[in-house]
Amino acid sequence: MTGADRPVRWLRESLGYEPRDAALFAAALTHRSAAGPNNERLEFLGDAVLNLVVAHHLYRSFPHATEGDLSRLRARVVSREPLAEVAAALKLGEMLQLGSGELKTGGFRRQSILADALEAVCGAIFLDGGLAAAEQAITRLLAPRIAALPDPATLKDAKTRLQEYLQARSLALPRYELERVEGEAHAQTFRVSCEVPALGQRAHGGGSSRRRAEQEAAERMLREIAPGTAADPPA
């Protein structure tokens, strides 16, 4: 089997797709660090195709989910980390054409490169076979992940869940206060308090940013006033 045949066989076995334009898929599997046509433009197109197909799938699978719920669910499927995991499982990295610098630094294992290449392949399928072919291949890849998604309500962050809990009981929104910042500039820890005056409750949180500290404080507040709405504590 020649080097040119490997991507075709990989597409056939991994995605169940028989390509018509081999050059299109050669470009999809070529990083910009390598010579020749690369996958940047196909990545741009594939990102849109992936988002459309997954959004359509989620829309049908979660008929009662809100727009925010659907956005959070989609991020669980088509953001960099899950796409890189799918690409790694397909051994897509072994198909990539990389420049010498990326080869030396293990670029075929880098999440950003794997996720981008998978998007590019989806863009190439769309151009080569149309939307129906792209939808079939993407569904084959991602349907198990979509089926395993949790209840949309569990994906809301702690601040949102706390706000909704208080609003449902006609209580004033919580107040967050930055109490102090610890550590050197390159490794700071923010300490924040979350107060619910109507309940006389205050919780504290810390994190590498103010936002993370506020989320932790909100989570701790939920554990105090509404244990059933709080996320499981970290292992």
Which positions are catalytic?
A: 47, 119
With contact defined as beta carbons under 8 Å apart, do 75 and 65 qualify? no
With contact defined as beta carbons under 8 Å apart, do 94 and 106 qualify? no
To 5 degrees, how large is the angle CA 121–CA 2–CA 93?
Answer: 35
Alpha carbons 45 and 124: distance in angstroms, whole number: 8
Tokens of 86: 């799918």
Of residues 201, 199, 200, 203, the one with CA closest to residue 191: 203
Of residues 81, 77, 79, the one with CA closest to residue 147: 77
